[in-house]
């Protein structure tokens, strides 16, 4: 008797699983950066257009394929065409790379979460130096939040070549992160279905709390006004459109096989069109919502730093000229500066080089993305809030929920093809397969806890998924439309769900989306080729800031290997199937 | 004559206490920053208290127990509030070495801060770095405790789930084998009873008579 395929307990679990997977850290730390760089409010125009033209059709396609084929990515693509099961294999390989490095972010979130239960927060004060006469030198040059991130959390080495050893503290946190992920995927959809209720909804609760807190912070409106004021000229910049397309593409998590895996556990009759539209809309709405929160936090931080800068200048002038304490305020600073310049020119010219030009604009202009935003900028803003421990705990808890939600999708993409395969699932129960996958990932993930680990993390983050995914989704779209046949797919969907497929989707699948992906692919390739040698940012402890360095040869080799190992799967498996097919035909012919 | 002496004394004093003089230290107070509205005005009484605190600090140094308030000289008081001070020896001709004054002030900085309701940032002795308070360092870092708690909870939960999964699988494996046993028994009985087949209807407990099955269809469905 065939074992029945496990199903989601109700369609809500499926929608929550997709939301939990799609709404991830990228919504929080990449979208606000893009919004700021490409024209603030006007970035929403290319973003929404790309959502309608690219995001929704491709998401619908993946969900429909999964629901129709009722198998993980490898099985699904094998059903579409045996030569194209390489697409599934490539998806699994990319998901494997992703889950390796993504869980390290959860480990860092755990680290910060555990350290949030102290007073004062450890990243708000610099540690003392050896003889307790002042603060640690590196901390003075950088800021206390940067010091805590680069020195205490990562203990980063000055360059990629200096590996250092495995740091036991991040290693422990990584182990815990993998145990938590294992706990959630242990029982398959049974356990995942319940966990996603929390991982999908709790981040919104925290975001709403943060929104209320953020909007009431002093200086938040500065950030909001500055960022959201549309700069219409950016609409003419092709980079804005390309980045909008890229963001939609990667934010939805297309091409990893997770969506196919989730949809394969669906009832065949569920309305995947509605689900696709809901999930993509919620994903984009969350991005915009998160950027409102982020910009109000930016505004608070910028205003705080600006006022601190003014205070420092006032203190300097008060001390040099022995003015009355409290005499200099923000409003009369310029007047007094002018008066002092004229009354005591020699003394003023001595102190002039040390007077910084405090500007709110330049504070707001610092655009940060990625781990820098999450772990440095946000923590800097949090340490200045009242009851900072509470805000810190809430924030890192939200990051954890977002990260674990995405990890559930990543591991589902790897596990579903493995549990579908009869060979493996007949020998091992699914708990053992999940355990093995988590163990292997955890062991390899220890590389990212070394002193140079963050540099390897950046390599994986930038190169493991980008090009390969574009190729995978392109082949997927072409496979469904032209190899399987758009008409056949349409009639399958109609038989399965009972609803006809509107002309809009067909036009998008067959024409517009593949063209978009090809243009993105060409752009990325040309970008890589034109930049020449690839560079990375290394932390220089003596200067207390990041410096740019070139990748060594072996790092470039690893990058090449990362990209090649996933993209080469497609042609290699196609070739393999072709050869096997001919061998079998040859055998049959010789037997006959 | 008295006036001459007075001028002489103040002149000597003036020489001893001068901005930048040897063994002289500059002090800076930021009373308004520290206390806001509750700031007190800096007058000669406060200066007297300051001299008393410095003398008190010096008295703690071995060999300097005889320091009096009059041995501490202040000069150049500005509206900042900042001023210079020196500590003289009992003969009032020489100033005490800077190193001794430094050590004395460092050891008693907390008392001096407390007397004026200020802290290390708002009462500064330039050239005397204050010993910063080391951060509170618990024997076991707090984060490990929380990590340990969550780690144990997760391990317990995983073990429970795995065990319940194994138990469920064992139960499922037993059930089909029990059903198979019953059918085997029935077939055995068939062979035992003289070739008359065991009536399978008795085993199942009830049988639907097809003639009455169509009762439901006589009633027109709504």
* Sequence-ordered list of residues with C-beta below 8 angstroms from that of B154, at least 6 positions apart, any chain: A176, A179, A180, A183
Q: For residue B191, is it within any domain?
A: no
Rounded Cα–Cα distance for residues A203 and A427 (Å): 39
Residue B82: strand pairing partners: B28
Rounded Cα–Cα distance for residues A248 and A41 (Å): 17
B154/A110 touch (CB, cutoff 8 Å), yes or no:
no
What does the H/E/C string look like for B167-183?
Answer: HHHHHHHHHHHHHHHHH
pLDDT tens by residue, A220-278: 898 888 888 888 888 888 888 989 998 998 899 998 999 999 999 998 888 999 999 99
Rounded Cα–Cα distance for residues A390 and B150 (Å): 18
Q: Is there a single domain that holds both residue B148 and residue B119? A: no
What is the least distance, in Å, from the CA of B158 to any CA of chain A?
Answer: 6
Out of A172, A318, A325, closest to residue B31 by CB? A325
Q: So what's the pLDDT on residue A585?
A: 85
Q: Is there a single domain that holds both residue B103 and residue B143? A: no
Q: So what's the pLDDT on residue A586?
A: 80
Q: Model confidence at B117, in pLDDT bands (50, 70, 90)? A: confident
* Domain span holding position B17: 12-125
> Average pLDDT for residues A466-478, to the nearest whole number?
90
Q: Are B100 and B61 a contacting pair, CB within 8 Å?
A: yes
Q: So what's the pLDDT on residue A2?
A: 45
Q: So what's the pLDDT on residue A561?
A: 92
Q: For residue B131, is it within any domain?
A: no
Q: Is A250 helix (H, G, I), strand (E, B) or coil?
A: helix
Q: Is there a single domain that holds both residue B119 and residue B159? A: no
Whether the per-residue pLDDT at A587 is higher than 80: the answer is no
Out of A132, A135, A186, closest to residue B131 by CB? A132
Q: For residue B186, is it within any domain?
A: no
Domain count, chain A: 1
Q: Are B99 and B93 a contacting pair, CB within 8 Å?
A: no
Query: What percent of chain B shows pLDDT beyond 70?
Result: 69
Domain count, chain B: 2
What is the least distance, in Å, from the CA of A507 to any CA of chain B?
Answer: 45
Q: So what's the pLDDT on residue B201?
A: 47
Say which DSSP state A450 is in.
B
- Contacts with A144 from chain B: Cβ below 8 Å: none
Residue A368, Cβ density class (10 Å: 0-12 exposed, 13-18 middle, ≥19 buried): middle
Q: For residue B102, is it within any domain?
A: yes
Q: Is there a single domain that holds both residue B61 and residue B152? A: no
What does the H/E/C string look like for B113-152?
Answer: HHHHCCCCCCEEECCCCCCCCCCCCCCCCHHHHHHHHHHH
> Average pLDDT for residues B8-37, to the nearest whole number?
77
The beta strand positions in A329-397, using DSSP E, are none
Task: Answer whether B160 touches A (CB < 8 Å).
Answer: no
Whether the per-residue pLDDT at B130 is higher than 80: the answer is no
Q: Tell me, what CATH number does A54's domain have?
A: 1.10.4160
Rounded Cα–Cα distance for residues A406 and A195 (Å): 12
Q: Is A22 annotated as a binding residue?
A: yes
Residue B86: strand pairing partners: B73
Task: Answer whether B208 touches A (CB < 8 Å).
Answer: no
Q: Are A316 and A337 a contacting pair, CB within 8 Å?
A: no
Q: For residue B162, is it within any domain?
A: yes
> What's this model's pTM, rounded to 2 decimal places?
0.83
Nearest to A27 by CA among A256, A239, A198, A204: A204
Give residues 66 to 85 of B whose Cβ lies within 8 Å of A. Answer: 78-82
Nearest to A435 by CA among A261, A179, A93, A103: A179
Rounded Cα–Cα distance for residues B148 and A99 (Å): 24
Q: So what's the pLDDT on residue B203?
A: 47
Whether the per-residue pLDDT at A80 is higher than 70: the answer is yes
Rounded Cα–Cα distance for residues B164 and B168 (Å): 6
Mutation to test the A interface, candidates B143, B147, B179, most A Cβ within 10 Å: B143
- Contacts with A132 from chain B: Cβ below 8 Å: 131-132, 134
Nearest to A118 by CA among B141, B129, B22: B141
A183/B79 touch (CB, cutoff 8 Å), yes or no:
no
* Neighbour-count burial for A305-318, b at 16+ CB within 10 Å, e otherwise: bbbebbeebbeebb
Q: Is there a single domain that holds both residue B117 and residue B18? A: yes
Rg of chain A (C-alpha set): 27
Whether the per-residue pLDDT at B196 is higher than 80: the answer is no
Output the six-digit token pair for A158. Answer: 């000055």
What is the least distance, in Å, from the CA of A317 to any CA of chain B?
Answer: 11
Q: Model confidence at B105, in pLDDT bands (50, 70, 90)? A: confident
Whether the per-residue pLDDT at A404 is higher than 90: the answer is yes
Q: Model confidence at B189, in pLDDT bands (50, 70, 90)? A: very low
ipTM for this prediction = 0.84
Q: Is A237 annotated as a binding residue?
A: no
- Contacts with B165 from chain A: Cβ below 8 Å: 186-187, 429, 431
Rounded Cα–Cα distance for residues A78 and A76 (Å): 5
pLDDT tens by residue, A350-395: 888 888 788 888 888 877 778 888 888 889 889 888 899 999 999 9
- Contacts with B132 from chain A: Cβ below 8 Å: 128, 132-135
Q: Are A100 and A460 a contacting pair, CB within 8 Å?
A: yes
What does the H/E/C string look like for A465-494?
Answer: CHHHHHHHHHHHHHHHHHHHHHHHHHHHHH
Kindly report the length of chain A.
592
Q: Is A291 annotated as a binding residue?
A: no
> Average pLDDT for residues A117-130, to the nearest whole number?
85
Task: Answer whether B154 touches A (CB < 8 Å).
Answer: yes
Phi first, then psi: what are they for A74, rounded to 5°?
-65, -50
pLDDT tens by residue, A56-73: 999 999 999 999 999 888
Q: Model confidence at A330, in pLDDT bands (50, 70, 90)? A: confident
Rounded Cα–Cα distance for residues A91 and A468 (Å): 9
Number of H helices, E strands in chain B: 9, 4
If interface means Cβ-Cβ distance under 8 Å, which residues of chain A face chain B?
110-111, 114-115, 117-118, 125, 127-128, 132-135, 172-173, 176, 179-180, 182-183, 186-187, 191, 318-319, 322-326, 429, 431
Task: Answer whether B135 touches A (CB < 8 Å).
Answer: yes
Nearest to B132 by CA among B111, B106, B114: B106
- Contacts with B129 from chain A: Cβ below 8 Å: 133-134
Rounded Cα–Cα distance for residues A26 and A28 (Å): 5
Cβ neighbours, 10 Å, residue A106? 25
* Domain span holding position A585: 14-589
Out of A114, A191, A322, closest to residue B78 by CB? A322
Q: Model confidence at A411, in pLDDT bands (50, 70, 90)? A: very high
Q: Is A135 helix (H, G, I), strand (E, B) or coil?
A: strand
Cβ neighbours, 10 Å, residue A562? 22
Nearest to B31 by CA among B52, B54, B50, B18: B50
Q: Is B97 helix (H, G, I), strand (E, B) or coil?
A: coil
Whether the per-residue pLDDT at A445 is higher than 90: the answer is yes
Q: For residue A98, is it within any domain?
A: yes
Q: Is A73 annotated as a binding residue?
A: no
Q: So what's the pLDDT on residue B179?
A: 57
Whether the per-residue pLDDT at B204 is higher than 90: the answer is no
Q: So what's the pLDDT on residue A462?
A: 86
Q: Is there a single domain that holds both residue B111 and residue B149? A: no
Q: Is A540 helix (H, G, I), strand (E, B) or coil?
A: strand
> Average pLDDT for residues A94-117, to the nearest whole number?
93
Task: Answer whether B158 touches A (CB < 8 Å).
Answer: yes
Q: Is there a single domain that holds both residue B94 and residue B41? A: yes
Q: Is there a single domain that holds both residue B116 and residue B24? A: yes
What mean pLDDT, rounded, does chain A reach?
Answer: 88
Q: For residue B112, is it within any domain?
A: yes
Nearest to A266 by CA among A3, A14, A4: A14
What mean pLDDT, rounded, does chain B reach?
Answer: 77
Q: How many inter-chain contacts (A to B, CB under 8 Å) are there? A: 78
Q: Model confidence at A283, in pLDDT bands (50, 70, 90)? A: very high
DSSP A136-184: -HHHHHS-HHHHIIIIIIS---SSSS----B-HHHHHHHHHHHHHHHHH
Rounded Cα–Cα distance for residues A311 and B212 (Å): 96
Higher pLDDT, A50 or B12: A50
Task: Tell me which H or E stretch contains A548.
Answer: strand A545-550
Say which DSSP state A128 is in.
B
Q: For residue B211, is it within any domain?
A: no
Q: Model confidence at A592, in pLDDT bands (50, 70, 90)? A: low
Q: For residue B203, is it within any domain?
A: no
Out of B80, B129, B154, closest to residue A324 by CB? B80
Out of B33, B79, B135, closest to residue A125 by CB? B135
Out of A111, A176, A319, closest to residue B154 by CB? A176
The residue from B70, B90, B125 where one domain ends is B125
Phi first, then psi: what are they for A539, rounded to 5°?
-90, 125
Q: So what's the pLDDT on residue A16?
A: 93
Query: What percent of chain A shows pLDDT beyond 90?
Result: 41
Kindly report the length of chain B.
222
Output the six-digit token pair for A443. Answer: 């062991």
A187/B33 touch (CB, cutoff 8 Å), yes or no:
no
Q: Is A503 helix (H, G, I), strand (E, B) or coil?
A: helix
Whether the per-residue pLDDT at A536 is higher than 60: the answer is yes
Q: Is there a single domain that holds both residue B107 and residue B30? A: yes
Nearest to A25 by CA among A520, A369, A447: A369
Whether the per-residue pLDDT at A48 is higher than 80: the answer is yes
């Amino acid at each position: 008797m065939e074992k029945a395929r496990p199903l989601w307990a109700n369609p809500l679990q499926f929608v929550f699983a997709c939301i939990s997977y799609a709404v991830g850290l990228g919504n929080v730390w990449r979208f606000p950066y893009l919004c700021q760089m490409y024209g603030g409010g006007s970035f929403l125009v290319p973003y929404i257009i790309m959502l309608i033209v690219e995001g929704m059709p491709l998401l619908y396609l993946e969900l429909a394929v999964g629901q129709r084929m009722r198998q993980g990515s490898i099985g699904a693509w094998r059903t579409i065409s045996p030569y194209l099961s390489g697409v599934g294999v490539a998806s699994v390989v990319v998901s494997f790379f992703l889950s390796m490095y993504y869980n390290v972010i959860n480990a860092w979130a755990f680290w910060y979460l555990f350290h949030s239960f102290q007073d004062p927060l450890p990243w708000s004060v610099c540690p003392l130096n050896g003889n307790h006469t002042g603060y640690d030198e590196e901390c003075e040059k950088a800021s206390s939040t940067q010091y805590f991130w680069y020195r205490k959390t990562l203990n980063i080495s000055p360059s990629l070549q200096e590996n250092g050893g495995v740091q036991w503290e991040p290693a422990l946190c990584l182990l815990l992160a993998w145990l938590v992920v294992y706990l959630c995927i242990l029982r398959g959809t049974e356990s995942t279905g319940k966990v996603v209720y929390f991982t999908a909804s709790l981040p919104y609760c925290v975001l709403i709390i943060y929104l209320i807190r953020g909007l009431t912070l002093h200086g938040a409106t500065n950030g909001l006004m500055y960022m959201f004021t549309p700069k219409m000229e950016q609409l003419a910049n092709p980079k804005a459109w390309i980045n909008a397309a890229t963001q939609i593409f990667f934010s939805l998590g297309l091409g990893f096989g997770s969506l196919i895996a989730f949809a394969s556990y669906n009832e065949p009759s569920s309305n995947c069109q509605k689900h696709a539209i809901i999930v993509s809309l919620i994903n984009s709405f969350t991005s915009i919502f998160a950027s409102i929160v982020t910009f109000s936090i930016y505004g608070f931080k910028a205003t705080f730093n600006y006022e601190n800068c003014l205070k420092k200048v006032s203190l300097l002038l008060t001390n040099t000229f022995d003015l009355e304490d409290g005499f200099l305020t923000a409003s009369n600073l310029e007047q007094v500066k002018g008066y002092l310049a004229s009354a005591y020119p020699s003394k003023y010219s001595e102190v002039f080089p040390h007077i910084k030009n405090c500007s709110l604009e330049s504070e707001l202009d610092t655009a940060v993305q990625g781990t820098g935003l999450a772990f440095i900028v946000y923590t800097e803003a949090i340490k200045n809030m009242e009851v900072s421990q509470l805000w810190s705990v809430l924030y890192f808890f939200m990051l954890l929920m977002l990260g674990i939600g995405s990890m559930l999708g990543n591991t589902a993409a790897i596990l579903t093809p493995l549990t579908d395969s009869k060979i493996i699932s007949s020998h091992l129960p699914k708990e053992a397969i999940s355990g093995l996958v988590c163990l292997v990932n955890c062991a390899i993930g220890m590389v990212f806890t070394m002193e140079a680990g963050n540099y390897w993390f950046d390599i994986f983050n930038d190169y493991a998924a980008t090009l390969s995914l574009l190729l995978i989704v392109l082949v997927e779209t072409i496979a469904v439309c032209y190899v399987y046949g758009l008409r056949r797919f349409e009639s399958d969907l109609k038989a399965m769900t009972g609803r006809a497929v509107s002309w809009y989707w067909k036009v998008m699948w067959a024409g517009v989306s593949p063209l978009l992906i090809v243009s993105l692919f060409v752009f990325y390739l040309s970008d890589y080729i034109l930049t020449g040698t690839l560079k990375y940012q290394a932390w220089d402890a003596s200067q207390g800031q990041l410096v740019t360095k070139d990748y060594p040869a072996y790092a470039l080799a690893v990058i090449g290997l990362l990209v090649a190992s996933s993209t080469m799967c497609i042609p290699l498996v196609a070739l393999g199937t072709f050869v096997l097919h001919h061998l079998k035909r040859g055998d049959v012919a010789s037997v006959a | 004559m008295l006036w001459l002496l007075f001028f002489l004394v103040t002149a000597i004093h003036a020489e001893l206490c001068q901005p930048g003089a040897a063994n002289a230290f500059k002090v800076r107070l930021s009373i308004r920053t520290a206390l806001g509205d509750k700031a007190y005005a800096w007058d000669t009484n406060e200066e007297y208290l300051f001299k008393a605190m410095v003398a008190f600090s010096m008295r703690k140094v071995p060999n300097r127990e005889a320091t009096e308030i009059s041995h501490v000289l202040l000069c150049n008081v500005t509206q900042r509030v900042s001023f210079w001070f020196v500590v003289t020896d009992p003969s009032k001709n020489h100033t005490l070495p800077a190193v001794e004054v430094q050590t004395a002030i460092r050891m008693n900085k907390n008392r001096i801060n407390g007397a004026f309701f200020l802290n290390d940032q708002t009462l500064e002795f330039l050239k005397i770095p204050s010993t910063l308070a080391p951060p509170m360092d618990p024997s076991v870092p707090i984060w490990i405790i929380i990590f340990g708690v969550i780690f144990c909870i997760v391990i317990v939960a995983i073990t429970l789930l795995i065990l319940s999964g194994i138990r469920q699988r064992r139960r499922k494996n037993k059930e089909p084998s029990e059903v198979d046993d019953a059918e085997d028994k029935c077939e055995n009985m068939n062979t035992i009873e003289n070739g008359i087949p065991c009536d399978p209807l008795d085993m199942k407990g009830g049988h639907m008579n097809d003639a009455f099955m169509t009762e439901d269809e006589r009633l027109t469905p709504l």
